[in-house]
Amino acid sequence: MPKIVDHDQRRSELLDKCLGVFLEKGYAAVTTRELERVTGVSTGILYHYFESKEDLFSRLVRSFVEKVTLELADAVVRGQNPAERLALVMQYIDSKEPELNSYLLILTDYARCVGFEKFRKELDFAQAESALLELLSVALEMSREQASKTLTYVMGFLIIRFLTGKNSSLVNEVSVVIA
C-alpha cells in the first residue's frame, strides 16, 4: 500500500528544520544543498513541497508571523483591562526579542538579495500588519490609528534597542507613551 502523507504537516516539518540554518547564516548564504542536509531529503523532495528557496523562505516567514499573531492573541485574553493586556503584549514581545531580532536580520538579508520591491511583493506584510492592528485596537480598546501609532512606536523601540543594545523595559517605555 502506498504511504499516506499529510503534505501540510510534512511541509511544516521541513520548514521547522530549515529555520535554524536561515537564522544562523542568513538568506543569501544558505544553499539548496545545505537545506537538503538539514532536512535529510533530496532536492526533488524539497521542490515537491516548495517551488524554490524563495518560496520556502517566504512560507517560513509567513508561518512565523502567523505564530506570533496567535501567541499575542493568546497572551492578551488573560488581561482583565487594557492596561493589563498592554503589559502582557509588551512582556510577550520582550520574551520574543532575540527571535524577532534574528528574523529582522534575515529579512534584511532577503530584501538585499531580491530587492525591496520583490521583498514587499513576496512577503506582503500588509495582511499581518492589519491583523496586528485589529488585535491591538480591540485588546487595548483604542482606535486603529492609535493602534498603528503604538505598533510603530514598539517597532521603533525594538529597532533602537537592537542597534544600541539599550536594555530598558519595553513595558515601562510604552506605558509612558500611551498613558
Give the total number of structural domains in the chain: 1
Residue 126 lies in a domain: yes
Residue 14 lies in a domain: no
CA distance 94 to 90: 6
State the cell numbers at 161: 534597542
State the cell numbers at 128: 499581518
**At residue 134, what is the residue type?**
E
Instruction: Say what the pTM is.
Output: 0.83
The answer to whether residues 161 and 94 touch, using CB atoms and an 8 Å cutoff, is no
Residue 76 lies in a domain: yes
- Helix %, strand %, coil % for the chain, to 5? 80, 0, 20
Q: 117 Cβ partners below 8 Å, 6+ apart?
A: none
147-152 contacts, C-beta under 8 A, 24 or more apart: 150/174, 150/177, 150/178
Residue 153 lies in a domain: yes
Residue 111 lies in a domain: yes
Residue 101 lies in a domain: yes
Residue 32 lies in a domain: no
For the domain that residue 165 is a member of, what is the CATH number? 1.10.357
- What does R_g of the chain's alpha carbons equal in angstroms? 18
Please write the tens of the pLDDT for every residue from 66-104. 999 999 999 988 999 988 888 898 889 888 988 888 988
Please write the tens of the pLDDT for every residue from 98-152. 888 898 889 999 999 999 998 888 888 888 889 989 999 999 899 999 999 988 9
- Mean pLDDT, rounded, of the chain: 88
Residue 25 lies in a domain: no
The answer to whether residues 89 and 153 touch, using CB atoms and an 8 Å cutoff, is no
Instruction: Give the domain range for residue 128.
Output: 53-178
Q: 133 Cβ partners below 8 Å, 6+ apart?
A: 144, 147, 148, 151
